[in-house]
Structure formats: C-alpha cells, structure tokens
Structure 1
Amino acid sequence: MAAPVVEASRAVLPEALKPGPPRQKSQAMESVEDILYGSIAGIIGKYIEYPFDTVKVRLQSQPDHLPLRYTGPLDCFRQSLKQDGFSGLYRGISAPLVGAALETSSLFFFERLGRETVYKSGLCAKDQALPLPALWFTGAFSGAFTSFVLTPIELVKCKIQVPATASSDGMVHKAPSVPSVIRDVYKHEGVIGFWHGQMGTFLREAGGCAAWFGFKETTTKLFYVWNERGIHTQAEKDALRTEALPLWQQAVAGASAGMSYNFLFFPADTIKSRMQTTAVGGTAKKNTFFQEGAALWHQHGLRGMYRGCGITVLRSAPSSAFIFMIYDGLKRHLPL
C-alpha cells in the first residue's frame, strides 16, 4: 500500500519542485571521465598485479634450447626474491604504470565509442540498454583499437622484466632501464620495432576484452535478476536497476571478467611475450607471430602455451575487481 501513497504525494508537488530528467553529459565530458577515471583505476590495478605479471613474463620467456629455469610460479617467486629482492618484482613499473593508465582509459573510451557505433547503426534505440551480444561486440571493438596503444608499452615492459643473465664472457650485465630499452629498439629497428608482437596483442585484446566487458556485464545482469527476487512491480525493478550493486557483487563481476580475459586468450599473450623478449639487434631473424607459435607448440605443446597462466588468472581477479569498482564508483559519485 506504500507505493500509491508515494505516487499521490508526487502528483500534488508544484511543477517547479518536480524532479527533472537526468542531466545529459556531452561527449567531451564523457571522454574526459573515461580518460581520467580509467587512468586512476588502471594505475591502482597495476600496483596490485605487477609482481605477478613479472613472474608470468619470466615463466613465458624461458628459452626453448635450455632447461627450464623455473619449475613453476612459486619457484619463480622464490628465485626472483633471492636474486633481486622484493623491489625486483617491481622492476620497470614506471612504463607499465603509464601503460595501465593508457590501457584502462583507452578500453573504457573505445568501449563507449563502440556503444555509440551500435546506436548509430540503428540496431538498438538510443534510449534502450544494449543487449548482451552487443556488449560483447563493444568489448572486442575496444580491445582491437587499444592493442595499438599497448604494444609499444608492453614491449618495453617485457624486455625489462626478464632477469639479467650471464653473457658468454661470464659477466652479468645490469638490467636495462626504460630509456635504454627505448633507445636500443629505436636504434636497431626504428619506430616500427616498437610494434613487434602486435598480432599477439591484437588477438589477446580483441578477444580478451570481448570477454572482459562481456562477462562483467553478463554477471552484473545475473546479479540484478537475482536481487529482484520477491519484487513484483516493474517500477520497483526499474528503481533497483538504477542503484549500484552491493560491493561484493561488483567485486565478483569484475573478478569474473578478469579471469575470463586472461584464460581464454592466454596463448596469444605467451607468444607475444616470447617475441618481445628476444634480444634487440643482432643478425638473428625475428619470428612472426605464427612462426613463434609453431615453434612453441612443437617444443612444449599446449602446456607451453599456458605456462604462467595460473598465476596470471589468480592476480587478475583482485586487479580487475578493483578496476571496475573504482571506475564505476568514480563515474557514479564524482561525475564531471
């Protein structure tokens, strides 16, 4: 009986006091929010996941012609801590922090452009929520464009994360810095050298981001349906869907997105990491994406393709959960 009373009280409000339609943001302000809030969320997420990412790259980049240096993620953690200390797990984080800001802001920016593309195509009315298949598409759209931003940053990151090894003269050389890697790549391979491994990044991001956004939206929708149990009126259901999910449900949705992103297209990331950790310069011919993948498959099979996957999926759960929670929270509570 409470709902009719509320509706009746609204009916007698003076026109000037009635709530108006929500303020519509301009495309420019939407873009600023995507870039600013996506950058903040990405940087925080990168601090959470970076030590695990370092271990993942070291596991992925072990040479084929030598015995495996690490028996698994825990052994890699142990050896890395013994050799470089805890700070060694954060070696080269400056470039990834920039990359995380660019990646996350680009993902949300291009995902919104993907939504605008779907609306302009006429497949869905502007005032309607996009169906789940369209949201999987906008994720792939976002990842495809973001891959071109990410490849140079990940190339620098991967070259720094590989541990220092002894050369033929027995000397252990100092780990490279960000400026030295950039200088060497440009000197030996030119500007195009920074996009070595682009195919791997493209496949990982286009497919992975379809799953990242798709699983997040799918899980979110399932939680809303679950929360609507016992609610019978459409008005109450519509009101519920304007509210944010409880934090634990937001975390589960974000975590499921991160785990699916990393697991489904992990082989593409493994091949990309191997390509990007090869030595700069020299006379050796660089393998293409498919050549590198064939060599890895011949040497180690499917297990080699997923080397380091467990720790990657593990670290992606809290990282992705925080990214979505921070981004959505800032968008909801601090609109520009």
Structure 2
Amino acid sequence: MALDFLAGCAGGVAGVLVGHPFDTVKVRLQVQSSEKPQYRGTLHCFQSIIKQESVLGLYKGLGSPLMGLTFINALVFGVQGNTLRALGRDSPLNQFVAGAAAGAIQSLVCCPVELVKTRLQVQEAGPGRAYRGSLDCLAQIYWREGLRGLQRGVGSTLLRETPSFGVYFLSYDLLTRALCCEPGGPLLVPKLLLAGGTAGILSWLSTYPVDVVKSRLQADGLRGPPRYRGMLDCARQSYRAEGWRVFTRGLASTLLRAFPVNAATFATVTVVLGWARPQGEGVAALAQSSSL
C-alpha cells in the first residue's frame, strides 16, 4: 500500500541525516591502505576528518543517499509490507521472507547509490578531487564504464542485503513482541527506538564481512589501477594481505551508526503509520498494534 512507501520515505530521511557521518568513517576505514593506514581507529578517523575537512567532511556524499536511500527505504518498507500481506500470516518466518524479498529487490537501486556515496567519501579534499558532487560522479562513471559500471559491486550488495534485511525485520518483529507486556499492549516510542536500534545492529552483524568486500570493490580504481577481478578475488586478496581482521574493519563505527539510524528509521516509520492508520497494518504488525 502507498502508506508503507510514504512511511518508509520519512524513515529514510531520518536515518540518513542521523547516520551519514558514521557511514563516512566506516567507508574510510574499510578502504584505507594496510601498508600506510591513514587512521588508527574510529575515533581518530572522526577527529582527522573534522580537523582536516571540518564537520562538513563527515557529510561528504550526502546528496546521493539523501536522494537515493530515501527512495530505497520507501521501496524496502513498501515491498516488505505488501509481501507480508501477500504471504497471508504475520509469523516470524514470514517476517524474514518478506524482509529478504525487500532486500533483494532494492539491491539494484541501492548499488549505484552506494557506489557514488563510496567514491565521494573516499576521494581526497581539495582542487584535485575527481568528482564535484553526486551527479558529477554518477555521470563520470556512466560515461567511462556505462550501465555496467554503475552496477559495480551488485553481487556483493545482493549477498549483503537479502539475508540482512530478513534478519532486520525478523529481529524487529520479535523485539516488539517481547517488549509488549501483553498482546496488543502499548509500545511507546522509547521501546520503538530500542527495538529498531537493536534490529539494525543484528542485521549488520549478520553480513558485515560482505559489506567490506562491497566497499573495496566500489572504491577500486579510484586511487590507481583496479586491483580486483570480482567479489571472490577481492575477498582472497584482502585476506591474504591482512588476515581475517580485514573483514571487521570499520565495524565499530558501523555499530555506533546502526543503533541511532535504525532507531530513528523504525520509530519514524511506525509513528507515521500510526498517525495515518491507527487501526491498520504496518511494520511488524504496526508494532503489535501499539498505541503511540
């Protein structure tokens, strides 16, 4: 239904504005050179960006997710809500299936948006920068590599999004049920924030190594000739060069970002659905038909 898409759009805006600085730090840590690392960790990366590029440096590439991820979030919640209704019963298994379906469908849209965001977050500040902004980056990739270039990393994006969104909606559903003292009881905004934030953390933990590979593939070639032939080659080279810890690089900033972003997203979505149709259906059965 249209309300699912509208609520998802509002949740997407809230999530992007809250989480983009953390995402910038995550990407910088994921793609930095192991031989000459620029940052010692999450806090040092935050401090360095602010010192060298001001607070605005943390919002590099904001245009792409603000335009794209807002629509993507609307797509995710719209597909999830309609898939759940099509399955006919609100159960934990159906929550996972509906979430996985939403993750798979939005991957094709998400991939070019994250490609542009990653390129802008990684490029150096100053007059010699490769891209002037989101649209310029999108245009340059298209003219140099065509439509195929815009889908760089689509395999790893699909592999990340499909199970992680299943975990995302399943964990939110289970948490909202657990936080209700009795069936149909009230689930207030603080509990929505807790459930949404925890669901976000669990979904990232379920597929984080794949996200590291995706970021490396999408940043590949920006600072020299391309190094990777594909997803498996990227994973092999990264493991050989840096060991298993490479697949946890940037995890701290990701989890710091995951809680407030997804808390804001799910709370906004559920509140919007609650205002629009207090007796209707929605995300996690409209938070168990809670009174907001």
In the TM superposition, 1:137-176 aligns within 5 A as 137-164=97-124, 173-174=128-129, 176=131
Q: Which moved more, 1:151-160 or 1:284-293?
A: 284-293
Structure 1 unaligned spans of 5+: 1-29, 125-129, 166-170, 229-236
Determine the structure 2 residue equivalent to 1:109: 78
Secondary structure, counterpart of 2:243 in structure 1: helix
Deviations along 1:55-94, one digit per CA (max 9) or x if unpaired, are 0000001134x32111101111111111111011111201
Give the residue type in structure 2 aligned to 1:103: I
Residue number among 141, 150, 161 corresponding to 1:185 in the alignment = 141
Deviations along 1:304-329, one digit per CA (max 9) or x if unpaired, are 10100111111110110111111111
Residue number among 259, 283, 289 corresponding to 1:317 in the alignment = 259
Cα root mean square deviation, aligned: 2.0
Looking at structure 1, the residues matched to 164 and 247 of structure 2 have their Cα atoms a distance apart, in angstroms, of 16
TM-score, length of structure 1 as denominator length: 0.78
- The structure that has the greater radius of gyration is 1
1:45 paired with 2:15, answer yes
Cα drift, residue 164 of structure 1: 0.7
User: Do 2:87 and 2:94's aligned partners in 1 also have CA atoms closer than 8 Å?
Assistant: yes
Structure 2 unaligned spans of 5+: 279-292
1:146/1:88 Cα in 2 relative to 1: closer, same or farther (>3 Å)? same
Q: Which has the higher contact order (CA 8 A, sep 6+)?
A: 2
Determine the structure 1 residue equivalent to 2:286: none
Q: Which moved more, 1:193-202 or 1:177-186?
A: 177-186
Determine the structure 2 residue equivalent to 1:195: 151
Give the residue type in structure 2 aligned to 1:49: G
Cα drift, residue 103 of structure 1: 1.9
1:99 paired with 2:68, answer yes
Q: How many residues align?
A: 277
Determine the structure 2 residue equivalent to 1:334: 276
Cα drift, residue 274 of structure 1: 0.6
1:79/1:261 Cα in 2 relative to 1: closer, same or farther (>3 Å)? same
Determine the structure 1 residue equivalent to 2:57: 88
Give the residue type in structure 2 aligned to 1:214: L
1:283/1:189 Cα in 2 relative to 1: closer, same or farther (>3 Å)? same
Give the residue type in structure 2 aligned to 1:270: V
Looking at structure 2, the residues matched to 80 and 280 of structure 1 have their Cα atoms a distance apart, in angstroms, of 19
4+ runs of 1 displaced by more than 2 Å? 279-287
Percent identity for Structure 1 against Structure 2: 29
1:286/1:296 Cα in 2 relative to 1: closer, same or farther (>3 Å)? closer
Looking at structure 1, the residues matched to 194 and 229 of structure 2 have their Cα atoms a distance apart, in angstroms, of 39
TM-score, length of structure 2 as denominator length: 0.89
Looking at structure 2, the residues matched to 132 and 41 of structure 1 have their Cα atoms a distance apart, in angstroms, of 23
User: Do 1:102 and 1:149's aligned partners in 2 also have CA atoms closer than 8 Å?
Assistant: no
Looking at structure 1, the residues matched to 95 and 76 of structure 2 have their Cα atoms a distance apart, in angstroms, of 13
Secondary structure, counterpart of 1:311 in structure 2: helix
Determine the structure 2 residue equivalent to 1:5: none
Cα drift, residue 142 of structure 1: 1.0
